[in-house]
Structure 1
Amino acid sequence: MIKSLTIAKALFISALVITLVAPTKSVKAQNSYELNTGWRCAPIANTKDPGTAISSINYNINDWMPATVPGTVLTTLVANKQMPDPFYGMNNEQIPDIYKTGRDYYTYWFVKDFKQAAATKGNQVYLNFRGVNYSFDVFLNGHKLNSQLNNGMFMRRSFNITKWLTAAGNNRLAVIVYPPDVVGNANGGQGGDGTIAKNVGIQYTAGWDWIQPIRDRNTGIWDKVTIQTTGAVKINNPHVVTLVPGIRQPDGAQQPAIIKVSTELENAGNAPVSGTLQYILDGKTISKKVTLKANATQEIKLDDYSLANPKLWWPNGYGPQNLYNLRLQFVADNKVSDQQDISVGVRQLTTEWNARTESRQINVNGQRVFIKGGNWIVSDEMLRFSDARYDAEVRFHRDMNLNLIRVWGGALIERPEFYEACDKYGMLVFQDMWGSGDCNGRWIDPMKLEDQWTRRKYPDDHDLYLASIKDQVKMIRNYASLAIWCGGNEITPPEDILKALKDTIMPALDNTRWFIEYSNSENMSRNVAGGNGDGPYGIQPLSVFWNDRTFPFNSEVGSVGVSDYESLKRFIPAENLVPPVYDENTHKTKTDPVWDYHKYIGYDGFINKYGKPKDAEDFANKAQLVNYDQYRALMEGFSSHMWDWYTGTIIWKTQNPWTAMRGQMYDYYLDPNACLYGLHNGSAPLHIMYNPTDGMVMVANNTFKPLTNLMLVAKIYDMAGKETLITQVFADVTAATTKRYLSIKPNIDAAAKEDGAFVVLELLAQDKTLLSQNIYWVANEKGDYTGLQKMDKANLQVTATNLSNGKIEVTLTNAAKGPLAFFNRLSVVDATTKARLLPAFYSDNYVTVLPGETKKVMVEYTPVKDAPKPLISVSGWNGPERFIAIGQ
């Protein structure tokens, strides 16, 4: 039986959409609007008429299906309940795969009626497509607009439709969209049989080790469609470069920065046009007189501008993300012909070889930045992108205290709204181009249809690839966050493509960023530790992250990521909510088939150390303890060797585009798990920590400022809450380094021998303000957490206060006598259903409160209109779930 969305799940997704808040746009045309509603579609099997007929306003499409645009064919079919939700259970197996059906099955007509008055006085009207997969023909009011088939998933297309608009203003657009030329056999390999990479498109749609195949291979009008009105002259592909010489600090007065602006100007008229190209920045206007030939496009460079005392843009954790608005205009006859507003972050990126680590380091505004990154696939496997979802996901990365996102090469060059969010939250972007070692021939692979020599030449159309790269570079090059261009994931593109990228395209279009040939290239990082340049993957003893040296700029290292029980219930049927069972003797795991289908990755014996799980809920709760510990240790271990072994590391991976069960800090529904807060702790800019193998206490300072006269405190608590002070000493911390102080291993070993213990490290300012706190739970001498299983209930008092609309302060106070209130999960929930309101953002979570201590957690969410005031749910390891009313 095909299972579709339950009513509760449908309501949940509706609430999710409602609560996402859209940020403002950073690039905006003067007169432009989206065609994003009112589309209809039909498969070609149902429609034999030509596009010239279908695009006639009188052609009957009343029986056509409502279509989701932007979106894919599968997006539309699921929305219309013609296909089940592929994210739930094993529904994806019920959806016909294009390899078996043939391409025609997912070839569709899309039609949109829209109002647009005919242009007057030399004005021009354009129809713009930002992304169609894979090829398409387009018709308007009975006229075909393209002379040859538009190919390629990653090509923007623009059509001047001025002469085809009707006098009455009633217009019909018809687009026929064809799937990728080669759809690939989804045979279980990475990218299936690999032939999906013959296209210039997304590779993972044929399946990967973290996702099932996407049955239509993302066929559709997957990105925005806009109508734009200009005067005779249109602004295309503006380019803004900022130069910030010298070594800067985030605060204080600044020496000037240089602003360089150029753009393409297109004169669509039949007569020359004279006018002024100008931009307005920080109250100043920089301009140039221009004369453009008829029916011509010309690139114009404006004079450099020296911006006095600039407010600089910095990566997260190092300084503010200041952004300027730059308004670029072409003015003729005292009228604005076209205008674009561009958000500009003033910063300069450089790289240099670090001889000590034998890897490249990234400098921003002259300061070296230790990279703490996460690998990103896409926001949604069905390409249901939104500005608001991008904003929420990138904000989560900011909340993890990361400073870089790597966009993986088996996916896409992301949409502008993604980089806009990265600009806002201070995330540098490491952008792979299309290609992967799996599909493109790096390894022998029996799952692949063709040999390595053949696969090494993918894609089939190199000219289309290069044209697509040029177009996408122009689309995103103005974003301050974009830091690195990369030729591909674990492999270079074919030699002719690589040569064009290095020698021609990047120097001409974007010569201020670091270009590396492939993601684990020795030009980025020497292989000083052996191995293949990345990893380890999967769950690890914590000592591995601290003591085992890996690639000095590691592009992929990662572990587990099962979310909690509330998350699992959203996509796993009740009968399949069965916990995995790990056999300590055989080292094998027995896993439910739905868990396997959703790519569960084993926790091995790590869960059992907390007591064998009673059920799936108990398993998921204990998994959060492991999640937190794994990711805190991962980032602490790399930070402990900052600028000694490493210049950076990037987690594989931080998010999933569907309901997978590995490598995620939050689930598809934007519900965070303990991975996120383990990272939030371990990646903090100023962070006290200790090595679990030798007991060495150290402080990582990821800021540009030294700190003096601090107090370092180390103490131990037993399971009953009794405190024992180990040491309390003054400490100084140099800028941008990790400093070692003393070992507390003998104290820990003695205290934890029987039932384990809690180790508490604190760093205090001169006024005794707590700057950093880190609470570890330590296993007994056998490696088990028996003491946690014996803990008494904590006497935790919780209050919640509404500070403003959508902002809550939660106060947690633990009684002075008694155990720690351990590992408390906070959630903002619907008062009636008790379902979590998503997304919600917490200043901290999975919080442990010491005896006699008070902690405050800030919660932000988007209130649902006319809904009752929510509640705060609090549930801890040694405390039952409670629902707290929110006071004023």
Structure 2
Amino acid sequence: MRHASSGLSTPVASPPRPLNAVFAVLLATSAALAPVAGAATWGPFNAEFPAASDGLVKKPPKGMTLAARRGFAIGGWFKPSEPARGTALLAGMDGIGYLCSVDGKLAFCGAGAPLRTDVTLGAGAWTHVAASRDGRHVVLYANGREVARQDADGADTAAAQLAIAPRTGATGGFAGRVAGLMVADEALDAQAVARLAAARPDETLTVFESGSPHWPLQTHQMAGQLAPQDAWTLPKSATLPARPVAVPAYAGPALERRGAGTWAIRAWTLQSADKASGTASQIASGGYDASHWYKATVPGTVLTTLVDRGVYPDPAYGLDNLAIPESLSRQDWWYRTSFVLPPDRRPGRHLFVTFKGINYAADIWVNGRKAGTTRGAFVRGSVDLGPYVNPKGENVIAVKVSPPPHPGIAHEESIAAGVGENGGVQAQDGPTFIATEGWDWIPSVRDRNTGLWQEVVLRSTGDVRVGDAHVITALAAGNGEADIGIEVPVTNVSDKPVRATVRATIRDRAGALAPIVVSRTLDVAPGTRTVRFAAAEFAALKVKHPHLWWPNGYGKPELHDLDVDVLQGAALSDHAHTAFGIRSVTYELSLVDHTGHLRRVEADFTKAHELGIRITDARHEALRKIADNQWATGLRAEAEGTKAIRELDDTRLTPYLVIKVNGVRIAARGGSWGMDDFMKRVDRARLEPYFRLHRDANVNIIRNWVGQDTEETFFELADEYGLMVLNDFWASTQDYNIEPQDVDLFMANAADVVRRFRNHPSIVAWFGRNEGVPQPALNERLEALIYAEDGTRWYTGSSNRVNLQNSGPYDYQPPETYFTTHAKGFAVEVGTPSFPTREAFEAVVPPSERWPLGDTAAYHDWHASGNGRVEPFMKALDRQYGAPASLADFERKAQLMNYESHRAIFEGMNAGLWRENSGRMLWMTQPAWPSTMWQILSHDYDTHAAYYGTKHASEPVHVQLNLPDHAVDVINNPVAPLENAHVAFAAYTVDGKLAGRGATTVSVAGGGTSGPIDLGIGKLLAREGLVVVKLTLADGAGRTLSDNVYWEATSPERLRGLDALPDVPVTVRAAGRTEGAARKVDVTLANPSAVPLLTAKLTLTTAGGARVLPVYWSDNYVSLMPGESRVVTAEFDPAAAGQGGLAVAVRAWNAAERTVAVDAPRP
């Protein structure tokens, strides 16, 4: 029964009180509680809560418990900062009740309906509020007077913690201040409550804990191995290291022409500094005898050269990395080359040598004289050869390269030693390849990637040189028109003004549009100035019906070329080329404004650049904690109310990022690249297959983790294959890895990287740090740099948590949890074990070490501990499919789990698309070396079941079986709607019985999902216990758009019933054909049996059994229902297959291994 007394007038805010008023509050509190015999108290607590805030939780003192039946009291001062709407919890305990407000009126919220009052909790004014419960009643007080009471319920519940201003959603909850909040474990009488309400708080002398603290600074770190590990923990193998095998060295000219006035400098030699006799000047002079030096692989690292020349074995095989000394990273190295200037070089021109990447530091010598230095792995170094060049004779360039100064101590992974730490002291040397000290997906690389790892170029110019042009594209609504803006820095290297013409030519790479040419003639004073071309001045830069760059799956990634020529009169002074894409990128974000409110907006940084303002505030002080332990970026006041942001009504994805390209929401699916190659062999021929495989897997986003992949080829290929890039800088995990120590060095490298790569349409965001925010001295300079040198993309300090999901999990999880629990919002890192194909594993592990999995597997990242611990995976495998008896048996079962897990990760995202999910990225998709963990493909380009699970779940139009309810869902990623599509399923038992069928018709909006469709599969499964289900989606003409096969059981143990599937005498026919420059093999698989065939794995080989790699399969791990057939196509480069016949090897869950010859003759 409920009774309410008359309401009180809204209290008025009190003026500042003297110091003794503060003591009066504490004394009043003590006096009020003193008469309660045996009462234990808890508090007081003082806190403040902006509108965008999280609640606070306080644990009770040791030995104190609160129980509803025994009685309790809670009270304190509350000052709302704004009128409250709906129900807002002020303070209380689950199971006991909360002080609350309902539409701004004081109430008590317990198990039943709220105990309401007419007391208004006025904004800006303090009100003392208390509730007391004895065995009979709950009494509510305001400013020391009883305002309501009700009979207590009979519940005898206990509370474990006090919640202050808890949030029930990202934007809901009490906003304001709380002072003197106290809890007692017995009821208080009216007099005691009145005494508590006698002295109001003095805000000027009260320290308030914030429910929305700003981002913290780093407080601790680790340094990796502090001493060499015990010898008994080193990995062991019964196989000795392989003999080194040399490959042919470069034998071409020292200068390799790359275009007018441009040459790549080749024919380098290499020697360790301790073995290079003579002084630096002598080494860099003509006549020096370097005949005993190694012929260097450039671009390439020291280790690459030493492996290529047969000094050391391939570190990727077995434990052979242990046969390479760590001393490579603890000494200096000399690179040397010599050349004669080309005879057709125009006289009187300037000569510059550009080093596109040296790790880590270098002294550059030319013809016996020191000409320059570089520091940091990612900054270009340029040397003016003018003072040093020999115009008619031999020219010598010698470069003394030093590795990072803190290489750390290698941790060698083994079963006994475990996974070790991720990195160590080398992290302080960023900008460098910090992963090469060793991570849980890569061993210690012996030279730490020291060397001339990128190209060296010689350029001949006139007096005026071209710098890094900046292209900015802006799209009109509807994408029917694009404005192109071009900024070209030009430098006059002479000592007098020069009259010059700057000409910019844009060509559509597809050749569909006529070239656009704009130019400007001007006087260029000595030094650097920027020449600008804007659409407002040059009508040609306003492009109608532009060909747009789109992410993979949403359209073609159209590219344009920009050629900039500087002319002195009619003579070409300099030329530069860059590629760009016409596209817009905007971002849906939840940002904390200057009043402390969370606002869901679409942020257009290109528009902000046009307006000369900044949108987001990435300073530590501006990053605020909000509800549910999430974090949001600050919104700068200068952006509020401008056209650079657009308010959004749909807040369901708060606070998470949504990426929009060309106005279209992109369902971001992909993964991180820890490093493209652990030895930084990053030529196009090596990298392009990885990018094509990613594109063919239907992913559209990758991450340049800690900037380890920062080179031209990486971004060029990302552009061409439509892969968006989240681009990190070179700092890693907060409160774990050491922060970079030389901020000026870091910024010099960062500035060069931004200027060099900002035109790549693939880059959609800049991350300051992996898993944390860089120290303020670095973070704030990075944010300012992105604004000044890019201005069109979002910069955020952290790769996770701030407007993004936290990282992980990384170990095996039940597939249904990717629908219900894990990786919600925009998740940048979620991983699970991903064992490679048996063939890929055997290619890098000696026969003696293949089974049981031992130290060599551990060295290749099959970890018993750490983030990727395999114990949950192995336990699930044993439980679901039985303990493996051999490598073949293990790999067979592991691939079934690989397929299911990786498909579930992306289907779980699909199921909540645009309601609770906007992006999901694997940790990781790209292996840096032959790994057994976190990958969808192998270092040698082989593709295992994880690849095809990802490929299917990420396909543009997809039908899937949701977990755990087994509803059917249709995902339509393209912009165009899907009309009247036919969804059907058929379910079979392991003995071939048709357990059920079903069908329906659906229409799905563009970029949307159908939502769950119950076709009765869940009930069917409950009846049968184990079924194989095939889903099919077809358009109105009956063309199959998507089909997927699932093996589902009512318990993990029931999956063992798959072993009862009879072997299928699968028929296989393979026919080769030529299509342009590519070779293709069409493989027809047929299941003539009465039972399902699961996961038929196809491998293209030579007639002798060697794998052909890379191969681009249209599908693999194919499952066929009874009587079904399928044609699967393999595409490959004929050069990869060599001479002779081809064959296709086939194995399946329930089919014996066999090989068939490709029946077409080789052309």
Structure 1 length-normalised TM:
0.88
Supply the distance in 1 between the matched residues of 2:241 and 2:834 (Cα, whole angstroms): 26
Contact 1:4 1:85 in 2 (8 A): no
Structure 1 residue aligned with 2:834: 561
Alignment pair present for 1:710 and 2:942: no
Structure 1 residue aligned with 2:675: 378
Supply the distance in 2 between the matched residues of 1:656 and 1:552 (Cα, whole angstroms): 25
Alignment pair present for 1:176 and 2:400: yes
Structure 1 residue aligned with 2:199: none
Supply the distance in 2 between the matched residues of 1:671 and 1:466 (Cα, whole angstroms): 38
Residue identity in the other structure for 2:795? F
Supply the distance in 2 between the matched residues of 1:230 and 1:857 (Cα, whole angstroms): 53
User: Structure 1 residue 575: deviation in Å?
Assistant: 0.7
Alignment pair present for 1:607 and 2:877: yes
Structure 1 residue aligned with 2:801: 521
The more displaced of 124-133 and 607-616 is 607-616
Structure 1 residue aligned with 2:1064: 793
Residue identity in the other structure for 1:430? L
- CA deviation profile, 1:531-567 (whole Å, cap 9, x unmatched): xx12121111111111115441111111011111111
Structure 1 residue aligned with 2:353: 127
User: 1:473-552 maps to which residues of 2 (within 5 A)?
Assistant: 473-502=754-783, 504-522=784-802, 524-525=803-804, 533-552=806-825
Structure 1 residue aligned with 2:424: 193
Aligned partner of residue 852 in structure 1, secondary structure: coil
User: Structure 1 residue 30: deviation in Å?
Assistant: 4.4
Structure 2 residue aligned with 1:315: 551
Contact 2:502 2:521 in 1 (8 A): yes
Identity score, percent: 29
User: Structure 1 residue 258: deviation in Å?
Assistant: 0.7
Alignment pair present for 1:340 and 2:576: yes
Match of 1:56 among 268, 271, 285: 285
Change in CA separation of 1:814 and 1:88 when aligned onto 2, cut-off 3 Å: same
Match of 1:142 among 368, 371, 379: 368
User: 1:656-675 maps to which residues of 2 (within 5 A)?
Assistant: 656-675=927-946
Match of 1:239 among 466, 470, 473: 470
Residue identity in the other structure for 2:847? A
Supply the distance in 2 between the matched residues of 1:693 and 1:191 (Cα, whole angstroms): 35
Contact 1:232 1:268 in 2 (8 A): yes
Supply the distance in 1 between the matched residues of 2:277 and 2:290 (Cα, whole angstroms): 13
Calculate the aligned-residue CA RMSD, in Å: 2.4
The more displaced of 195-204 and 381-390 is 195-204
Alignment pair present for 1:292 and 2:524: yes
Structure 1: 5+ residue stretches without partners:
18-27, 249-254, 449-454, 528-532, 581-591
- CA deviation profile, 1:46-83 (whole Å, cap 9, x unmatched): 12422221122211111112222222222222222322
User: Structure 1 residue 206: deviation in Å?
Assistant: 1.3
Structure 2 residue aligned with 1:584: none
Structure 2 residue aligned with 1:23: none
Match of 1:397 among 691, 694, 699: 694
The more displaced of 471-480 and 773-782 is 773-782
Supply the distance in 2 between the matched residues of 1:644 and 1:737 (Cα, whole angstroms): 10
Aligned partner of residue 617 in structure 1, secondary structure: helix
Structure 1 residue aligned with 2:597: none
Supply the distance in 2 between the matched residues of 1:803 and 1:560 (Cα, whole angstroms): 37
Match of 1:31 among 261, 264, 274: 261
Bigger radius of gyration, 1 or 2? 2
Structure 1 residue aligned with 2:889: 618
User: 1:219-234 maps to which residues of 2 (within 5 A)?
Assistant: 219-234=450-465
User: Structure 1 residue 367: deviation in Å?
Assistant: 1.1
Residue identity in the other structure for 2:1147? S
Supply the distance in 2 between the matched residues of 1:200 and 1:731 (Cα, whole angstroms): 52
Structure 2: 5+ residue stretches without partners:
1-237, 251-257, 412-418, 507-513, 536-540, 590-599, 601-650, 864-869
Contact 2:1079 2:1134 in 1 (8 A): no
Supply the distance in 2 between the matched residues of 1:813 and 1:674 (Cα, whole angstroms): 18
Supply the distance in 1 between the matched residues of 2:1059 and 2:1157 (Cα, whole angstroms): 25
Aligned partner of residue 901 in structure 2, secondary structure: helix
Alignment pair present for 1:306 and 2:579: no
Alignment pair present for 1:628 and 2:899: yes
Contact 1:809 1:856 in 2 (8 A): no
Q: Detail structure 1 runs of 4+ shifted over 6 Å in the superposition.
A: none
Aligned partner of residue 111 in structure 1, secondary structure: strand
Residue identity in the other structure for 1:631? H
Aligned partner of residue 876 in structure 2, secondary structure: coil
Residue identity in the other structure for 1:262? E
The more displaced of 741-750 and 699-708 is 741-750
Supply the distance in 1 between the matched residues of 2:763 and 2:1101 (Cα, whole angstroms): 36
Supply the distance in 2 between the matched residues of 1:673 and 1:852 (Cα, whole angstroms): 26
Supply the distance in 1 between the matched residues of 2:1035 and 2:351 (Cα, whole angstroms): 61
The more displaced of 740-749 and 483-492 is 740-749
Change in CA separation of 1:549 and 1:138 when aligned onto 2, cut-off 3 Å: closer
User: Structure 1 residue 871: deviation in Å?
Assistant: 2.6
Residue identity in the other structure for 2:560? Y
Contact 1:795 1:818 in 2 (8 A): no
Supply the distance in 2 between the matched residues of 1:242 and 1:370 (Cα, whole angstroms): 23
User: Structure 1 residue 431: deviation in Å?
Assistant: 0.5
- CA deviation profile, 1:171-210 (whole Å, cap 9, x unmatched): 2211111111222233575344334424431211111122
Contact 1:191 1:205 in 2 (8 A): no
Supply the distance in 2 between the matched residues of 1:312 and 1:110 (Cα, whole angstroms): 43
Supply the distance in 2 between the matched residues of 1:852 and 1:783 (Cα, whole angstroms): 25
User: Structure 1 residue 783: deviation in Å?
Assistant: 3.2
Structure 2 residue aligned with 1:258: 483
- CA deviation profile, 1:665-694 (whole Å, cap 9, x unmatched): 111112111111110011111110112321
Contact 1:487 1:517 in 2 (8 A): yes
Supply the distance in 2 between the matched residues of 1:788 and 1:761 (Cα, whole angstroms): 22
User: Structure 1 residue 113: deviation in Å?
Assistant: 2.1
Structure 2 residue aligned with 1:74: 303
Alignment pair present for 1:697 and 2:968: yes
Change in CA separation of 1:134 and 1:758 when aligned onto 2, cut-off 3 Å: same
Change in CA separation of 1:291 and 1:461 when aligned onto 2, cut-off 3 Å: same
User: Structure 1 residue 488: deviation in Å?
Assistant: 0.5
Supply the distance in 2 between the matched residues of 1:78 and 1:433 (Cα, whole angstroms): 29
Structure 1 residue aligned with 2:1157: 884
Alignment pair present for 1:85 and 2:314: yes
Supply the distance in 2 between the matched residues of 1:153 and 1:311 (Cα, whole angstroms): 36
Contact 1:708 1:731 in 2 (8 A): yes
Supply the distance in 1 between the matched residues of 2:911 and 2:305 (Cα, whole angstroms): 49
Structure 2 length-normalised TM:
0.68
Structure 2 residue aligned with 1:362: 659
Match of 1:218 among 426, 444, 449: 449
Supply the distance in 2 between the matched residues of 1:680 and 1:115 (Cα, whole angstroms): 52
Structure 2 residue aligned with 1:774: 1044
User: Structure 1 residue 846: deviation in Å?
Assistant: 1.1
The more displaced of 89-98 and 552-561 is 89-98
Supply the distance in 2 between the matched residues of 1:299 and 1:190 (Cα, whole angstroms): 47
The more displaced of 255-264 and 860-869 is 860-869
Structure 2 residue aligned with 1:583: none
Aligned partner of residue 785 in structure 2, secondary structure: helix
Contact 1:717 1:757 in 2 (8 A): yes
User: Structure 1 residue 643: deviation in Å?
Assistant: 0.8
Match of 2:561 among 318, 322, 325: 325
Structure 1 residue aligned with 2:45: none
Structure 2 residue aligned with 1:588: none
- CA deviation profile, 1:793-821 (whole Å, cap 9, x unmatched): 23323232313243314132424543333
Structure 1 residue aligned with 2:141: none
User: Structure 1 residue 88: deviation in Å?
Assistant: 1.6
Alignment pair present for 1:103 and 2:330: yes
- CA deviation profile, 1:235-269 (whole Å, cap 9, x unmatched): 11111111113244xxxxxx210111112112233
User: Structure 1 residue 645: deviation in Å?
Assistant: 1.1
Structure 1 residue aligned with 2:170: none
Supply the distance in 1 between the matched residues of 2:954 and 2:240 (Cα, whole angstroms): 41
